[in-house]
Structures are given as structure tokens and as C-alpha cells.
């Protein structure tokens, strides 16, 4: 079965998979306005750092479509910048969002003297280029990652950094898919990833669809599973990587890295180079999104905590570089001390 | 508000709180047969190692009530043993279950020559004694624990080792309740404790009822919270402690202990001496219950994983003694190397 495409440009429409209803339902949705794209990002209908970037770029294009046909270049460039700045406020942590929007803004910079339609076309071209590059990036990460991981049999992954977090085969799961193509089948331990269960809902779903054997566990079972020596390596994605290699990723990643270290299990991060933010010297500077209490108290259909309870719900944590065995990007494999200047 | 009594002997009936429906509903249930008590234990209507022991002892009494009034001592002793052996198969990990049932069996040993009613009365007396001792045990653990923990302000606890896991103020939470009586208010970080959410459903509920300030988090947020230096100590209960101090407790405890160690946060275990199993030299010999896949895939009202997914769902894990700063029992405070001979 071919992999699901979580976002697609049909030639006329931007179509996404609503990931909030997986795996119970597979619902495609045509996104028609920047506001709808903002909402889709905010509510995690589209999610995963690389996919957020691609989606936001198309979101700018949707803003351009609202321009009148007679709009001039200056108006169109202004609209592109305005829409990009608006979409940049949809989520705070994944740097790919800002990276993709900056690319769109750079693409239209200086186009004030051409027609509005030409600016709109340039935005669409840039969004399509980001989408296309994202697919090539996944493939390259898969190749580099498989080179490193082929000696292992059992991998543990957290959250979803798979095909549904990107526009193709994912980042952390790309080596697994490349392995499948080459006759190597990994067994993947998938943790459910509270509070929003991207592991059980999305990673389990896409790996099972691809025919990869998995075992689903709760997040808090990782140490027990590793103690029984059933795990060869951990591989996760990232939402932002500081210059020193500290990596922000889904909440729970840092604890998992500590547990892996205690059991001598190597811990890898796979992410496109657009995830690296050289402007931050270390991970303490990465802004961490705090999300709604409801995700913890009634995230799965019924209320599971007392009314009025105080909740802390950070969406991400930061894994320090010293716990990371290596960072796999489309440009190759990086080890500490990190020098991302070749990225 | 007085603490809930999760089990009570009214003088005529055994009444439990059905903990599976907390906090949404507070439902009392009269348990009438050993089969109903088996089911209540198996399905976690009553849960927590000390409470399981108390409940099972009353379960034997419920079996005795089914004897005809003319039953002789031999028949009654046989029935007591048979019912105890049956109830011992309800859950495998908490040693308090076997300890309480052994006490009942020892109490009736040699009573073949008295009347059946006298044997029945002896079983009831023993169950009531275990219940009464359990209350005294909680108080003593609270006193010893408070002595050790009073220098701290913020505690993290996992699962529920509170008043609803025992017949009174609990084990891990007893120092918090003793603190309240003495004017010391701890802030408690409560993790939800997947898959059955005893933390968010039960610990949050009972601490909020008592007026203790809490913050609810998902299990996988513990490392993030500790990194921000907001936690002074971790305290948890135990279901079985081996002779070397290795302690089995709710799944996730071992990972939490590793995370605490990495942040220099002391990790305490509080449990009655009946939890210590000197017959096991270390924790690798403790049997670990594997529970239903449904708890992971649709534990909270709707299915959250694909149909057919392979699940691993161990109910407990073992924390090695070297990660434990001390074990608090009703007899006092123990540190490694453990010598439980004074227990």
C-alpha cells in the first residue's frame, strides 16, 4: 500500500489528511484560506516539524488566491509577507515553520514591480519547491540513517516523525522505510506519546500499513522494555536543534534519552537541516509551547481527572547534546561536538 | 472533608468504593461473595497492594458466610483454605495479597474441632485485625516518612499509594497527610500513570479533596519538570520488595527512578513491612503481571490505536535498590544495604 500523503497540491487545491481523527477515520480536507491553515496547524490536523513548514508555505499561497485579479505586485508582496507573519504565530517551537515562511518571503522580495499574479505564482512555486525538497530530504535522511542503523534490529521511536510528519517517508522513520526497500525489516517499539497519542494513533498506523512489525507500549514502559535488552537504538525527530546539538522534540523525548543512556542504548535524532537553528547557542533558548489542559484531563473522549485540577502541559522538551549519539540530516550524519557549518 | 474509606466492614456487610469509575462517579458497592471480591480485585475496583490484602481477607469471610449454619469446623477450615487459595490467584504481583491470605489460613489452622461458626468468626476477626493494623501501619509510615521528608517542599508521586490504596491515609501519601495535620503543606506533582490513570483519576482526586496543592502532568513530562528543578523528592509505594531492596511498583516507576537519579532527586519507597518478600533475593524473581491490551488501545473511552496492533502491557516494573534513597515502613526507615531482619 502506498504511503499516505499528508499534504498534496492537486494543481488546483491544497488537500490535507486530518491527523486528529486517525486511526479511527481517514479524512481528507481541502484547505481554502490562511485562517483554515492556521487552524489546521494549531489544532494538529497537520503536524510534525517538516510538514508544518510545507503546510505554512501553501497557507501563504491560499492568502494570495484571495487577492483580486487586478492586484499589483506591491499589494501582492505585502499580502505574502502579512500572511506569512500571521501563519508564523500558529505554533512556537518548530523552527521549520519560520524557515519555510522566510523562504517564501525571500522569494517574493523585490517583486513589487511585476504583476500580482506573478507574485502569486512565485509563492506557489516556492511552496511546491519546499514540498519537493521535503520529499528528497526524507529520502536522503533515510539513506544516511539506514547506513548507521542497519546493524540494529529493534528500534524505539517516540511520537511521530514518520511519513505523516513530513510530505513523504518521514525523518526518524525514513531509515525503516529505506530498510524495507532493501530487504531489512526492523522491529519498532512505538510508545503512545501522551497526551495526544501520535505514537499509537499515527506511528503505529503508518508502520502497520507499511508492513513493519511493531509493539505498542505506554510511554512509561520504555525503561522496563530496555532493561530486558530488547532495544538496540532509539530514533526520534526534532522540532528545533540549537547550534550545540541540543534538540527540542515532543515532550517525553528527554526522559527517554536519559533512560536510553542508563541502558547503554544509543539515541539518534533525525531531522532536516532546516530544523537546525544556528541562532540559538543552546537548547535553553528554544521556546517551549504550553498547550491546553484539556489534552491531559480529557484528551481521549472522556474526562479522566477531577474538575479544577491544575495541569502542566508542555508540548516539547529539550534533550541535551551529550545524550545524543548522532544527528542524521539530509546532508549526512553529525556527531558531537557539532559543527553545522557544512549544513 | 474526611478521607474516603475504600473498604469498610459495617458490622454486617463488606462495602467498597468502585475505584474504576473515579473521579467521575463515587460509587459504593456491597461485595457479597468471594467471586465478586475476586472480580473486584482483578478489575481494580479495589487496588493498591495493602488494600488488596485487606480486601482478600474479607473475601475469605464472604466465602464462610455461604456455609450452612450446621457446618462443622473441619468443613469450615477447608472452606477457608479453599477460598483463600482461590483469591490468591486474582493478581500475581502484590505480595500483601498472599500475606493477608496466609494470615487467615494460619488463624484457622487446627480449628477443625470447633464449630463452623467459630471458624467463621475467627476469619472475620482476622480480616478486621488486618484492616485495623493497616490503619495503624499507614499512620506509622506517615510519621516516619514525614520525619524524612519534612525538609522538602515539592514531591513527585506516581500511581496511587494514597488513602485509596490502603484502608486509611496510604503509604507514599501518608507523610503528606501527616504534614497537613502539622501545618506543613507539600506541593505534589502527580503523574497520570498510564494506562489506567490512577494518578489523574485517584491521587489527584484524593489530594485535592484533602486540600493539598497538586500539579497534574503526563508520565513523560517528569524529566522536563525535574530539569527545571521543581522537584525535591520522589515518593512511591510498592507491590513487592525483594530481600536486597529491589522494589516492584506500578509500571513507570523504574523509569521515573532513573530520571530522578539523573537530576539528583532522592527517590523514596513507602510500604508496609508486609510488602517485603524475604524469600526473593532480588527483584528479577518478582512475577510481573501482564494485563489486557485494551487498557492501552482503548482505555479511556475510545479506541486510540489501530485494530490488530501488538501491545506490551506489563502492570509493574522493578526499581533496583541502588536507585532508592530509602524505604519507609511502619517499623522505620531503611537504607541500603538493606537488612530487613528487624522488620
Q: What angle in degrees, to the nearest 10, is found between the helix axes of A49-65 and A34-42?
A: 160
Instruction: Give residue for cell 526499581.
Output: B319
Q: How far is B228 from chain A (nearest CA, A)?
A: 10
Residues in a beta bridge with B332: B329
Judge: A309–B208 Cβ closer than 8 Å, yes or no: yes
Pairing of strands B233-236, B267-270: parallel
Distance of alpha carbon A12 from alpha carbon A6, whole angstroms: 17
Mean pLDDT, residues B198-225: 97
CB A127 within 8 A of CB A58: yes
Judge: B204–A306 Cβ closer than 8 Å, yes or no: yes
In degrees rounded to 5, what are phi and psi of residue A187?
-100, 130
**Rounded percentage of chain B residues whose pLDDT exceeds 90:** 92
Distance of alpha carbon A121 from alpha carbon A57, whole angstroms: 12
Cβ–Cβ contacts within 10 Å for residue A30, how many?
A: 11
Q: Is B234 on the interface with A (CB under 8 A)?
A: no
CB B117 within 8 A of CB B123: no
Residue range A31-67, pLDDT digits in tens: 999 999 999 999 999 999 999 999 999 999 999 999 9
Q: How far is A310 from chain B (nearest CA, A)?
A: 5
Judge: A302–B24 Cβ closer than 8 Å, yes or no: yes
Q: How far is B106 from chain A (nearest CA, A)?
A: 36
Instruction: State residue A229's pLDDT score.
Output: 77
Residue range A155-214, pLDDT digits in tens: 999 999 999 999 889 999 999 999 999 999 999 999 999 999 999 999 999 999 999 999
Q: Which residues of B touch A213 (CB under 8 A)?
A: 310
Instruction: State residue B342's pLDDT score.
Output: 64
Q: Is B292 on the interface with A (CB under 8 A)?
A: no
Instruction: State residue A302's pLDDT score.
Output: 83
Distance of alpha carbon A149 from alpha carbon A152, whole angstroms: 6
Residue range A70-111, pLDDT digits in tens: 999 999 999 999 999 999 999 999 999 999 999 999 999 999
Sequence-separated (6 or more) residues with CB below 8 Å from residue B260: B156, B226, B231, B234, B266, B267, B323
Q: Is A213 on the interface with B (CB under 8 A)?
A: yes
Q: How far is B321 from chain A (nearest CA, A)?
A: 15
Which residues of A are the active-site residues? 239
- Please give the angle made by the CA atoms of B311, B312 and B317, to the nearest 5 degrees: 160
Q: Which residue among B214, B224, B301 places its CB closest to the CB of A300?
A: B301
Distance of alpha carbon B186 from alpha carbon A248, whole angstroms: 31
Helices (H), chain A: 34-42, 49-65, 73-87, 95-108, 116-149, 174-181, 198, 204-210, 222-227, 253-262, 294-297
Judge: A301–B296 Cβ closer than 8 Å, yes or no: no
Q: Which of residues 247-266 of B touch A (CB under 8 A)?
A: 251-252, 254-256, 258-259, 261-262
Q: Which residue among B205, B256, B309 places its CB closest to the CB of A204?
A: B309
To test the contact with chain A by mutation, choose from B220, B239, B292, B301 the residue with the greatest count of A C-beta atoms within 10 A, namely B220
Instruction: State residue A219's pLDDT score.
Output: 98
Q: Which residue of B has its CA nearest to A254?
A: B223
Q: Which three cell numbers stand for residue B132?
A: 485495623
Q: Which residues of B touch A297 (CB under 8 A)?
A: 200, 216
Residue range A217-253, pLDDT digits in tens: 999 999 999 998 789 999 999 999 999 999 999 999 9
Q: How confident is the model at residue B243 (pLDDT cuts 50, 70, 90)?
A: very high
Q: Which residues of A touch B204 (CB under 8 A)?
A: 305-306, 309
Q: What angle in degrees, to the nearest 10, is found between the helix axes of B116-149 and B49-65?
A: 170
Residue range B258-287, pLDDT digits in tens: 999 999 999 999 999 999 999 999 999 999
Q: Is B216 on the interface with A (CB under 8 A)?
A: yes
pTM here is: 0.95
- CA-CA distances (angstroms) from residue B314 to A331, B195, B196, B248? 40, 10, 12, 12
Q: Is A224 on the interface with B (CB under 8 A)?
A: yes
Helices (H), B274-323: 294-297
Distance of alpha carbon A225 from alpha carbon A223, whole angstroms: 5
Q: What is the ipTM of this complex?
A: 0.94
Among residues B93, B338, B43, the alpha carbon closest in space to that of B239 is found at B93
Judge: A252–B221 Cβ closer than 8 Å, yes or no: yes
Q: What is the DSSP-derived secondary structure letter of residue B134? A: H
Judge: B195–A216 Cβ closer than 8 Å, yes or no: no
Amino acid at each position: 500500500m502506498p504511503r499516505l500523503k499528508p499534504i498534496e497540491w492537486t494543481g488546483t487545491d491544497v488537500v490535507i489528511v486530518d491527523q486528529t481523527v486517525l486511526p479511527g477515520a481517514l479524512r481528507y480536507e481541502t484547505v481554502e484560506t490562511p485562517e483554515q491553515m492556521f487552524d489546521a496547524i494549531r489544532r494538529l490536523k497537520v503536524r510534525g516539524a517538516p510538514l508544518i513548514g510545507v503546510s505554512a508555505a501553501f497557507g501563504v499561497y491560499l492568502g494570495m488566491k484571495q487577492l483580486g485579479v487586478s492586484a499589483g505586485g506591491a499589494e501582492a508582496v505585502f499580502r505574502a509577507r502579512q500572511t506569512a507573519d500571521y501563519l508564523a504565530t500558529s505554533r512556537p517551537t518548530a523552527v521549520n515553520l519560520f524557515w519555510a515562511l522566510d523562504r517564501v518571503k525571500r522569494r517574493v522580495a523585490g517583486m513589487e514591480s511585476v504583476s500580482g499574479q506573478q507574485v502569486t505564482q512565485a509563492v506557489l512555486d516556492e511552496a511546491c519547491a519546499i514540498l519537493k525538497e521535503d520529499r528528497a530530504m526524507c529520502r536522503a535522511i533515510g539513506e544516511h540513517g539506514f547506513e548507521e542503523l542497519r546493524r540494529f534490529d529493534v528500534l524505539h521511536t517516540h511520537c511521530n516523525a514518520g511519513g505523516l510528519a513530513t510530505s513523504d517517508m518521514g525523518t526518524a522513520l525514513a531509515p525503516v522505510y529505506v530498510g524495507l526497500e532493501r530487504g531489512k525489516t526492523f522491529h519498532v517499539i512505538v510508545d503512545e506519546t501522551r497526551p495526544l497519542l501520535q505514537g499509537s494513533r499515527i506511528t503505529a498506523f503508518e508502520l502497520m500499513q507499511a508492513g513493519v512489525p511493531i509493539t505498542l507500549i505506554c510511554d512509561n514502559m520504555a525503561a522496563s522494555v530496555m532493561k530486558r535488552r530488547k532495544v538496540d537504538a532509539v530514533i526520534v525527530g526534532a522540532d528545533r536543534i540549537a547550534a550545540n546539538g541540543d534538540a527540542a522534540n515532543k515532550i517525553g523525548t528527554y526522559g527517554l534519552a536519559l533512560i536510553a543512556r542508563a541502558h547503554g542504548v544509543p539515541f539518534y535524532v533525525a531531522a532536516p537541516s532546516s530544523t537546525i537553528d544556528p541562532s540559538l547557542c543552546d537548547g535553553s533558548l528554544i521556546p517551549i509551547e504550553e498547550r491546553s489542559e484539556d489534552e491531559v484531563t480529557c484528551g481521549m473522549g472522556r474526562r479522566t481527572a477531577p474538575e479544577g485540577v491544575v495541569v502542566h502541559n508542555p508540548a516539547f522538551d529539550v534533550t541535551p547534546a551529550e545524550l545524543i549519539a548522532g544527528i542524521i540530516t539530509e546532508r549526512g550524519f553529525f556527531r558531537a561536538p557539532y559543527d553545522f557549518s557544512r549544513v
